[in-house]
Amino acid sequence: MADESESAGARAERLARFQPASGMVTPRFSGLASFMRLPVLDPAEAVGDRAGEGAGEGTRLVEIGLIGIPFDGTTTNRPGARLGPRAVREASTGTRALNHATGVAPYALAACADLGDVPVNPVDAAETARRIEAFYRPLAEAGIVPLTVGGDHFITYPVLRALGAARPLGLIHIDAHSDTDNSQYGDTQYGGARLTHGTPFRRAVEDGVLDPRRCIQIGIRGSMDAADERDWALAQGMRILTMEEVCARGLPEVAAEARAVTGDGPTYLSFDIDALDPAFAPGTGTPEIGGFTTREALHLLRALRGLDLVGADVVEVAPPLDSAGITALAGAGIAFEILSLLAERVAARH
């Protein structure tokens, strides 16, 4: 963990080191793309295995790590999300240092860096899950808050296993689909696939890394294969807010319920880009009509300020299915909004 006795001067130096490149100094279209134009750092160095400038032995260098997981090997409809991290990195070069709506300047509040991509195995979901969990466990132990860009939604499961190993987490899950199927493509006893992008939250509850009574799913809509996906989640105590209920109640009430369900405990935020209507995010594997506008999504996220967020992700951006890069742009904008939430929370802990 970071040294709580870090002086104000040392902290200021550390924050200065991990600033994004300014578009007022070098053009945003120049150089190699990283998330938000942040410095790129090896994960081992980030956790302090190799003490860097301004950090003592065994201290973390950054407080928020942006990470790509280029994996879509469990996608059951249209593939392409493996290219999501690369496209979101490119789109995120257009973000700036200040959130105009909330006034949050995330890089003035927390040391942030691009920690690269998890080295996935594109043809082996179980092996990829092990690699993801192994990548995230040292970050969790060092107190580094991860903001992940996928990749299909399966990737959230091993991330939760790493972050929820010490205690089960709450969850705010914004999506068109509840992703609580038991298995897909066959009965579980006879070869059904239990690791898909439609099963991550069921697996996480079963593994004890999610507290279902502190889980809320927002924006669920569209047709289902069977009622079990919904009925199982409700039986565990998960709260499901369908898009119809969201529209009837309004965003302020929805955000208030999300805050009430998750409470003061550690909480993970997962945003599937297909929560957005396909008019705003066509580049995704399983689009559903009748979703959020990008403006509504931003307002919903801003209403979650102050929650104890210990990690977050944006998943299912599929660039091959995109039109003029608008889904990647939406993903980058959502990621910056979430980064603002995380940075505020990191600063509040100091």
Q: What pLDDT digit, counting tens, does each position of 39-81 carry?
A: 999 999 999 854 434 333 347 899 999 999 999 999 989 999 9
pLDDT for res 23: 87
Calpha distance 71→48 (Å, rounded): 27
Q: With 70 as the cut, is the pLDDT of residue 162 above it? A: yes
What confidence category does residue 5 fall into, taking pLDDT thresholds of 50, 70 and 90?
low
CB 144 within 8 A of CB 60: yes
- Please name the residues in contact with 5: beta carbons below 8 A apart, sequence gap of 6 or more: none
Calpha distance 304→131 (Å, rounded): 31
Strand partners, 115: none
Q: What angle do CA 80, 178, 169 make, to 5 degrees?
A: 100
Torsion angle, CA of 134/350/97/53, rounded to 10 degrees? -70
Say what percent of the chain tops pLDDT 70: 93
Calpha distance 187→32 (Å, rounded): 46
Q: What is the DSSP letter of 40?
A: B
Tokens of 84: 């999501």
What confidence category does residue 149 fall into, taking pLDDT thresholds of 50, 70 and 90?
very high
- Give the count of beta carbons closer than 10 Å to the beta carbon of residue 138: 17
**Which pTM value belongs to this model?**
0.93
Calpha distance 323→308 (Å, rounded): 35
pLDDT for res 300: 98
pLDDT digits (tens, 9 = 90+) for 24-37: 889 889 989 999 99
Give the C-alpha distances (Å, rounded to integers) separating 3 from 9, 46, 59, 257: 13, 14, 6, 36
Q: With 90 as the cut, is the pLDDT of residue 267 above it? A: yes
Q: With 80 as the cut, is the pLDDT of residue 186 above it? A: no
Beta strands in 191-332 (DSSP E): 210-220, 239-242, 267-272, 309-315
Q: What angle do CA 114, 120, 122 make, to 5 degrees?
A: 135
Give the C-alpha distances (Å, rounded to integers) separating 184 from 74, 128, 192, 330, 338: 10, 18, 6, 29, 31
Look at residue 48 and give its three-state secondary structure.
coil
Calpha distance 3→311 (Å, rounded): 21
Strands 309-315 and 64-69: unpaired
pLDDT for res 53: 41
Provide DSSP, 160-188. Answer: HHHHTSSSPEEEEEESSS----S-BSS-G
Calpha distance 125→110 (Å, rounded): 33
Q: With 70 as the cut, is the pLDDT of residue 189 above it? A: no
pLDDT for res 56: 36
Higher pLDDT, 340 or 5: 340
Look at residue 67 and give its three-state secondary structure.
strand
Say what percent of the chain tops pLDDT 90: 81
Task: List helix spans (H) across 96-155.
Answer: 106-109, 125-142
- Dihedral sign computed on CA atoms, order 278, 69, 35, 3: positive
pLDDT for res 185: 62
Q: Which of 170, 167, 147 is nearest to 159 (CA)?
A: 147
pLDDT for res 192: 65
Strand partners, 240: 217
pLDDT for res 347: 92
- Please name the residues in contact with 287: beta carbons below 8 A apart, sequence gap of 6 or more: 176, 274, 278, 281
Calpha distance 267→164 (Å, rounded): 10
pLDDT for res 50: 40
Report the chain's mean pLDDT, rounded to a whole number: 92
Look at residue 80 and give its three-state secondary structure.
coil
pLDDT digits (tens, 9 = 90+) for 199-254: 999 999 999 999 999 999 999 999 988 888 899 999 999 999 999 999 999 999 99
Calpha distance 106→343 (Å, rounded): 5
Q: Which of 290, 296, 269 is nearest to 278 (CA)?
A: 290
